[in-house]
Amino acid sequence: MSEPWRAAPPPQPAAAAAAPVLLPDLPDPMRQRGHVVLVALMFVMAAVGVVGAGFFAITSGDARGSGLSLLYALLPLPALLACFFWLDRYEPEPWHYKLAAVVWGGVGAVSIALAAQLTIDWLWSPSLPVMATVVAPLTEEPAKALFLVLTFVRMRRVIDGLVDGLVFAGLVGLGFAFVENVGYYAGSYVGIDETTIDGPFATTMTFVLRGIMSPFAHPMFTAAFGIAVGIAVTVRSKPLKVLLWVGGLVGSILLHGLWNAGASFDEGAWFLVVYVLVGGLLAGLIVLAVLARSRQGRFLARALTDLARRGWMVPDEIPFIAAPAYRRKAVTYARERGGDVASRATRRYQRDAVTTAFLHAGILEGRPKPQARVRVEQLLGVMRALRPYVVLPPPMRFSAQPVAPGYPPYAPPAPQAGALYPTAGAPGPYGAPPGAPPVPPAAWPPPTAPPPTPVPPQAEPPSRGGPW
With a cut of 60, say whether residue 213 has pLDDT above it: yes
Residue closest to 355 by CA, chosen among 90, 74, 7: 90
CA distances to 17, 110, 117, 120 from 123, in Å: 76, 20, 10, 5
With a cut of 70, say whether residue 420 has pLDDT above it: no
Contact present, 222 and 145 (Cβ < 8 Å): yes
Regarding whether 394 and 251 lie in a shared domain, the answer is: no
- Backbone phi, then psi, for 170, in 5-degree steps? -65, -40
Regarding whether 305 and 248 lie in a shared domain, the answer is: no
Regarding whether 250 and 139 lie in a shared domain, the answer is: yes
The runs of H, that is alpha helices, within 104-194 are 109-124, 128-130, 136-153, 162-190
With a cut of 70, say whether residue 460 has pLDDT above it: no
Contact present, 136 and 261 (Cβ < 8 Å): no
pLDDT at 267: 65
Regarding whether 199 and 155 lie in a shared domain, the answer is: yes
Instruction: State the residue range of the domain holding 48.
Output: 35-265
Contact present, 93 and 158 (Cβ < 8 Å): yes
Q: Is 88 left (phi over 0), alpha (psi -120 to 50) or beta?
A: alpha
Regarding whether 290 and 212 lie in a shared domain, the answer is: no
Is 436 inside a domain boundary? no
CB proximity list for 403: less than 8 A, separation 6 or greater: 302, 305, 306, 309
Task: Report how far Cα 249 is from the mean position of its chain's Cα atoms.
Answer: 23
- SS3 for 427? coil
Widest Cα–Cα separation across the chain = 123
The last residue of one of the domains, among 241, 265, 289, is 265
Is 340 inside a domain boundary? yes
Q: Judge if the upstream peptide bond of residue 447 is cis by omega within 30 degrees of 0.
A: no
Regarding whether 167 and 145 lie in a shared domain, the answer is: yes
Please tell me the distance from the alpha carbon of residue 268 to that of residue 210, in angstroms, as a whole number: 17
Taking only the tens place, the pLDDT of each residue in 227-286 is: 999 999 888 888 999 999 999 999 999 999 999 998 877 666 788 888 899 999 999 999
Please tell me the distance from the alpha carbon of residue 237 to that of residue 242, in angstroms, as a whole number: 9
Please tell me the distance from the alpha carbon of residue 375 to that of residue 356, in angstroms, as a whole number: 8
Q: Provide the 8-state DSSP code for 161.
A: S
Is 370 inside a domain boundary? yes
Q: Provide the 8-state DSSP code for 316.
A: G
Regarding whether 210 and 89 lie in a shared domain, the answer is: yes
The last residue of one of the domains, among 368, 386, 406, is 406
The runs of H, that is alpha helices, within 2-127 are 35-58, 63-74, 77-87, 95-103, 109-124
The last residue of one of the domains, among 265, 300, 330, is 265
Please tell me the distance from the alpha carbon of residue 317 to that of residue 447, in angstroms, as a whole number: 28
How many helical (H) and strand (E) elements, i.e. helices and strands, does the chain have?
A: 15, 0
Please tell me the distance from the alpha carbon of residue 412 to that of residue 444, in angstroms, as a whole number: 7
CA distances to 40, 130, 444 from 124, in Å: 38, 11, 74
Task: Rank 20-34, 35-49, 318-332 by mean pLDDT and report only the highest.
Answer: 318-332
Is 314 inside a domain boundary? yes
Is 247 inside a domain boundary? yes
pLDDT at 118: 95
Q: How confident is the model at residue 444 (pLDDT cuts 50, 70, 90)?
A: very low
Regarding whether 332 and 233 lie in a shared domain, the answer is: no
Please tell me the distance from the alpha carbon of residue 259 to that of residue 268, in angstroms, as a whole number: 13
Please tell me the distance from the alpha carbon of residue 3 to that of residue 6, in angstroms, as a whole number: 6
Is 46 inside a domain boundary? yes
Regarding whether 254 and 162 lie in a shared domain, the answer is: yes
Is 332 inside a domain boundary? yes
Regarding whether 230 and 319 lie in a shared domain, the answer is: no
Task: Report how far Cα 175 is from the mean position of its chain's Cα atoms.
Answer: 17
Regarding whether 283 and 234 lie in a shared domain, the answer is: no
The Cβ-side half-sphere exposure at 93, using a 13 Å CA radius, reads 25
Please tell me the distance from the alpha carbon of residue 167 to that of residue 159, in angstroms, as a whole number: 9
Taking only the tens place, the pLDDT of each residue in 61-105 is: 889 999 999 999 999 999 999 999 999 999 998 888 899 999 999
Please tell me the distance from the alpha carbon of residue 111 to that of residue 109, in angstroms, as a whole number: 5
pLDDT at 193: 61
Q: How confident is the model at residue 439 (pLDDT cuts 50, 70, 90)?
A: very low
Reported residue count of the chain is 468
Looking at the DSSP assignment, which residues form a beta bridge with residue 431?
Answer: 428
* Among the ranges given (141-155, 284-298, 407-421), the one the predictor scored with the smallest mean pLDDT: 407-421
Regarding whether 182 and 105 lie in a shared domain, the answer is: yes
Question: Looking at residues 411-415, what average pLDDT do you find?
Answer: 39
Please tell me the distance from the alpha carbon of residue 111 to that of residue 105, in angstroms, as a whole number: 9
**Residue 394: count of CB within 10 angstroms of its CB:** 6
Looking at the DSSP assignment, which residues form a beta bridge with residue 428?
Answer: 431
Is 452 inside a domain boundary? no
| Count of domains for the chain | 2
Question: b or e along 325-351 (b: 16 or more beta carbons within 10 Å of the residue's beta carbon)?
Answer: ebbeebbebbbeebeebbbbbbbbbbb
